[in-house]
């Protein structure tokens, strides 16, 4: 059985959004982060690590209480997203067979797409989705990259860290515009 895990960086200040982005309610009244986590859990991820700026940041997000979800705190969120990814990696007791990295502000990625990318990565390839010729999220990696990523400096980016490791993820065409829909500003919630 393939052991799967995800790291969800969610410690950003959301300045362009005006703060409170990940707890903003979508049309169904549930927080944005709830949708992101549900997609991962519905895709069959066995362990999801959410990295927040403080322990109480997502108290109203029901999926945080799912036994498959662990909330960890990045004590220095201003160091950037990769510092949060490293905090998430450090929270994994052992390297999974497949690791998914999906930013918390990606609530529109379908679970079926995540599951198909996990299946591709379980064959030993690093993959990302591509929709309409554009590369999207999540990044899905074989577990052998977890420990090398843990040893990259906090101040790098995931893209640079992957380049340092000599890894260029293969782009997999998907029929899901959600892989491109990150939420940076309030108007991104209504964009189609």
Question: Tens digit of pLDDT for each residue in 103-161?
Answer: 999 999 999 999 999 999 999 999 999 999 999 999 999 999 999 999 999 889 999 99
Token pair in block for residue 190: 């209504």
Question: Tens digit of pLDDT for each residue in 13-23?
Answer: 777 777 778 98
Question: What pLDDT, on a 0 to 100 scale, did the predictor assign at position 19?
Answer: 72
Give the separation between CA 155 and CA 135, rounded to whole angstroms: 23
Question: What pLDDT, on a 0 to 100 scale, did the predictor assign at position 191?
Answer: 60
State what percent of residues in the chain have pLDDT above 70.
99
Give the separation between CA 140 and CA 105, rounded to whole angstroms: 17
Give the separation between CA 182 and CA 108, rounded to whole angstroms: 8
Domain boundaries, the chain: 4-182
Alpha-carbon torsion, ordered 99, 105, 107, 112, to 10 deg: -20
Question: What pLDDT, on a 0 to 100 scale, did the predictor assign at position 192?
Answer: 53
Question: Tens digit of pLDDT for each residue in 172-184?
Answer: 999 999 999 988 8
Assess contact for 81 and 157: CB atoms under 8 A: yes
Kindly report the CATH class assigned to 4-182: alpha beta
pTM: 0.94
Give the separation between CA 59 and CA 62, rounded to whole angstroms: 8
Residue 78 has pLDDT above 90, yes or no: no
Picking from 82, 107, 89, the residue whose alpha carbon sits closest to that of residue 22 is: 107
Question: What pLDDT, on a 0 to 100 scale, did the predictor assign at position 120?
Answer: 96
- Which stretch of DSSP H or E encloses residue 150? helix 146-150
CA distances from 163 to 151, 152, 157, 160, 189 (A): 14, 11, 10, 5, 32
User: Residue range 73-77: average pLDDT?
Assistant: 92
């Amino acid at each position: 059985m393939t052991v799967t895990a995800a790291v969800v960086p969610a410690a950003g200040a959301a300045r362009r959004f005006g703060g409170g982005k990940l707890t903003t309610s979508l049309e169904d009244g549930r927080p944005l982060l709830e949708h992101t986590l549900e997609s991962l859990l519905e895709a069959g991820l066995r362990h999801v690590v959410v990295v927040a700026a403080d322990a109480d940041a997502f108290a109203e997000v029901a999926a945080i209480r799912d036994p498959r979800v662990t909330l960890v705190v990045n004590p220095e969120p201003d160091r950037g997203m990769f510092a949060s990814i490293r905090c998430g990696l450090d929270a994994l007791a052992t390297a999974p067979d497949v690791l998914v990295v999906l930013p918390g502000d990606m609530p529109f990625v379908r679970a079926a797409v995540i599951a198909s990318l996990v299946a591709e990565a379980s064959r030993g390839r690093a993959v990302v989705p591509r929709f309409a010729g554009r590369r999207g999220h999540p990044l899905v990696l074989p577990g052998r990259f977890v420990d090398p990523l843990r040893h990259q400096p906090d101040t790098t980016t995931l893209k640079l860290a992957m380049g340092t490791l000599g890894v260029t993820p293969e782009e997999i065409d998907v029929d899901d515009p959600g892989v491109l829909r990150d939420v940076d500003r309030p108007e991104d919630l209504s964009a189609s």
